Structure 1
């Protein structure tokens, strides 16, 4: 995994992005024929003994049954409507406000991760991405500069999970405060090098092509996360020929892919990926014009 010494490979994106927020195109490039939104998986759990959180005390820690589900499954559980511009709190039918969200069957839901596409989902998408470029073995991965502990150890701390996988141990692997550039995951020459500066974001670039992500073992070979157990996907990915762009914006709970109609169709039809087609100009922060409604 080689870091790139300059931002030239990403400069072509700059002219395709808006400098002011109107819709998704401050982070997703304009000008492609088709777009798809990949919804990040949702995690839910319930106690193994009773199979429901309803009527279950919270005073002790219990063995849990955990699984990942689609947004469509969440909508089915809560009687709401799933659509391309869906927002997760509306799929739940309520704002969590820090409270537990339970469905009628007793499952407890966690919000999908923002700014991070699950390795298995990225691997499934990469199969299609590699088929829709003439340069599947040549491409660039961009990683947001602001992830904790990436450029410096200053202020970064890491909690360790105990051997039972449930409790957080009372020890903190904290880096020394005040450490300078290069004391984090990336070497000083990378941190002090050139970044790709796009509207509101700056990124470090790496030589990591689409084919690299087909095997989910990629989590063991990138320099930008602390542990394969807590992997970080690239925030932007594109092949050298620029036939498509994958964008996992740090504040989005979904990933947007811009490309050809054929690529978008393949992603949407893949049963291992929850994806829906998007229109150019889609605003993923507001869906009041398409209210959720009961499933019929």
Structure 2
């Protein structure tokens, strides 16, 4: 079968594929409450989904396969074009509209000057919150990425909050609590790590779970005058394939980002299986940063926004922070320090 691929490492390639190599792929969103998995017909390591469309390539009719997401993605995106996975849904912002599809290469901005102010306010790569979020906000807070329990039979995951683990391990919850130090507190007190009984998988670095980023976008949309105009940056180190080396990037100290533009409600859309690392509305009312090395997401904004986020205790776990708070693995000065940054991954 003649196939034409769009996106990913096979972008714009036409290949003759054995029909037997086309398989059903069931992407399971890793969040709670569990969502219905999306079933697509796919081919390739990058999960290229059959769109049902055809195109003429080199005089032959080719079936179009478009990138659906990476196998390693923890949040496989819905594929709105495909009949298997499309359909109306109530979005985070309450509107009844089709499920948003993932970002494509056509969405990447060639002009990234909208991020110039971010570069001006983050002058250096450092070890504090101000190295992630511009130092222009009155209030900063930290969203703790959850740990997970996993049911062996179906691999469904349920989030485990840090506050639960702190109590069980005899640790102390505070503004710069670190995952490794919290677990180390349990080891030194004789309560062990809690792995296998309290949690099975440690928090994901670099991004909130998809369900939490959607919940966050719902709150943030109420605290900006430009909810339909928002910028999202994806760290280039994720290894996005097919993007020209000379394509415009927003260059911050130690990090370069591909930039796209949409509405606040687009925060849950993925680019090749990854969620955004930074995002902010056009009016700059707030700023969100999920650095690839951290198990926390940091938000800068107004005090009213912080209060709203603290109130959503069922949706995510928020604690106070400030622009000078340390963000490195050894930032915890209250709980015992682990031997190294990956001691209790």
Same fold (TM over 0.5): yes
The one-character-per-residue Cα deviations of 1:147-191 (angstroms, maximum 9, x if unpaired) are 03x1x3xxxxxxxxxxxxxxxxxxxxxxxxxxxxx2xxx4x4xx5
Among candidates 249, 255, 259, match of residue 297 of structure 2: 255
Q: Which residue is equivalent to 1:199?
A: 253
Give how far 1:63 is off: 6.7
Q: Distance in 1 between matches of 2:289 and 2:303?
A: 17
* SS, match of residue 148 in structure 2: strand
Normalising to structure 2: TM-score of the pair?
A: 0.60
The one-character-per-residue Cα deviations of 1:11-48 (angstroms, maximum 9, x if unpaired) are 1101211414242222221121001100011112466x
Q: Distance in 2 between matches of 1:65 and 1:131?
A: 32
Q: Distance in 2 between matches of 1:248 and 1:89?
A: 18
Q: Which residue is equivalent to 1:289?
A: 333
Q: Which residue is equivalent to 1:225?
A: 272
* SS, match of residue 35 in structure 1: strand
Kindly indicate whether the alpha-carbon contact (under 8 Å) linking 2:226 and 2:281 is maintained by their aligned counterparts in 1.
yes
Asked if 1:25 is matched to 2:130, the reply is yes
Kindly indicate whether the alpha-carbon contact (under 8 Å) linking 1:46 and 1:107 is maintained by their aligned counterparts in 2.
no
Give how far 1:210 is off: 1.0
Among candidates 183, 186, 191, match of residue 92 of structure 1: 183
Structure 1: gaps of 5 or more residues: 48-61, 153-181, 227-231
Aligned residues: 226
The one-character-per-residue Cα deviations of 1:211-241 (angstroms, maximum 9, x if unpaired) are 223xxxx44xx4x224xxxxx2200000001
Kindly indicate whether the alpha-carbon contact (under 8 Å) linking 2:125 and 2:254 is maintained by their aligned counterparts in 1.
no
Among candidates 293, 316, 323, match of residue 273 of structure 1: 316
Give runs of aligned pairs for residues 153-232 of structure 1, distance below 5 A: 182=242, 186=243, 188=244, 191-213=245-267, 218-219=268-269, 222=270, 224-226=271-273, 232=274
Q: Which residue is equivalent to 1:78?
A: 169
Q: Distance in 2 between matches of 1:65 and 1:92?
A: 23
RMSD: 2.5
Q: Distance in 1 between matches of 2:272 and 2:217?
A: 20
Structure with more of its chain in strand, by fraction: 2
Q: Which residue is equivalent to 1:239?
A: 281
Change (3 A) 1:260 1:69: same
Structure 2: gaps of 5 or more residues: 1-102, 337-345
Q: Which residue is equivalent to 1:4?
A: 109
Q: Distance in 1 between matches of 2:144 and 2:235?
A: 20
Higher RCO, 1 or 2 (CA under 8 Å, sep at least 6)? 1
Q: Which runs of 4+ in 1 moved over 4 A?
A: 62-66
* SS, match of residue 256 in structure 1: strand
Q: Distance in 2 between matches of 1:104 and 1:288?
A: 20
Kindly indicate whether the alpha-carbon contact (under 8 Å) linking 1:141 and 1:209 is maintained by their aligned counterparts in 2.
no
Give runs of aligned pairs for residues 39-118 of structure 1, distance below 5 A: 39-45=144-150, 66-93=157-184, 102-103=193-194, 106-118=197-209
Q: Which residue is equivalent to 2:228?
A: 137
Kindly indicate whether the alpha-carbon contact (under 8 Å) linking 1:89 and 1:95 is maintained by their aligned counterparts in 2.
no
Q: Which residue is equivalent to 1:179?
A: none
Change (3 A) 1:76 1:109: farther
Normalising to structure 1: TM-score of the pair?
A: 0.69
Kindly indicate whether the alpha-carbon contact (under 8 Å) linking 1:115 and 1:235 is maintained by their aligned counterparts in 2.
yes
The one-character-per-residue Cα deviations of 1:239-265 (angstroms, maximum 9, x if unpaired) are 001111000111111100011011011
* SS, match of residue 265 in structure 2: helix
Q: Distance in 1 between matches of 2:164 and 2:279?
A: 28
